[in-house]
Amino acid sequence: MKALSDIATIKYGKGLPTKELLPTGFPVFGGNGIIGSYNSYLYETPQILVSCRGAASGNILVSYPKSFVTNNSLVLELNDYRYFHFIKQYLLENPLYSYATGSAQPQITIDNIKDVQVPYPEYDSIHNLIKQLSYYADMQYHNICENSLLCSTRDTLLPRLMSGEIDVSGIDL
């Protein structure tokens, strides 16, 4: 077992006023998931996020590649990214809700979680598990991207179908 602060640099995301969010661009992760898009990103690779403000404090999220992360999340920048899927899976199964303080506005600070103990076995002993976790994470991300494309296609075609601009009456199913 090792402390989170021994295996990762724990940082707050960056402040981003909601008025600066854009309809398209790189995904922006707030304290409880994607809240919009922005014209730049902070992280090239997915990151493990800990919601640190409000009712979701302690929830574990995983950002997408090329994402912006707001200061409503803590980012765990792993010292050895090979452990990413292992630590991610452990924290998804063991969220950090109990480390939130404050009743009116719950929050989690770096000090609250820096000493949290997580398993950290020798890499060789978990290499095969990490390969499997990585495979499933890649499949999940691919499905998310495909669903997003399908939603966009639906949102483009449906109004045209409903208005009669596109006629499908001649299609034999």
Question: pLDDT for 130-173, tens place per residue?
Answer: 999 999 999 999 998 899 899 999 999 999 999 989 888 888 87
Tokens of 165: 């601009």
Given this model, what pLDDT does residue 59 score? 97
Given this model, what pLDDT does residue 103 score? 81
Given this model, what pLDDT does residue 173 score? 78
Q: Within 13 A of 60's CA, how many CA atoms are on the CB side? A: 18
- CATH number for domain 2-120, candidates 3.20.20.140, 1.10.1370.40, 3.90.220.20, 3.40.50.720: 3.90.220.20
pTM: 0.86
What DSSP assignment string belongs to 22-36? BSSSEEEEETTEEEE
- Across 100-118, b (16+ Cβ under 10 Å) vs e yields beeeeebbbbeebbeebeb
What DSSP assignment string belongs to 63-90? PPSSBEEBTTEEEEEESSGGGHHHHHHH
Q: Which residues of the chain have pLDDT under 70?
A: none
Q: Is 102 helix (H, G, I), strand (E, B) or coil?
A: coil
Q: Within 13 A of 164's CA, how many CA atoms are on the CB side? A: 0
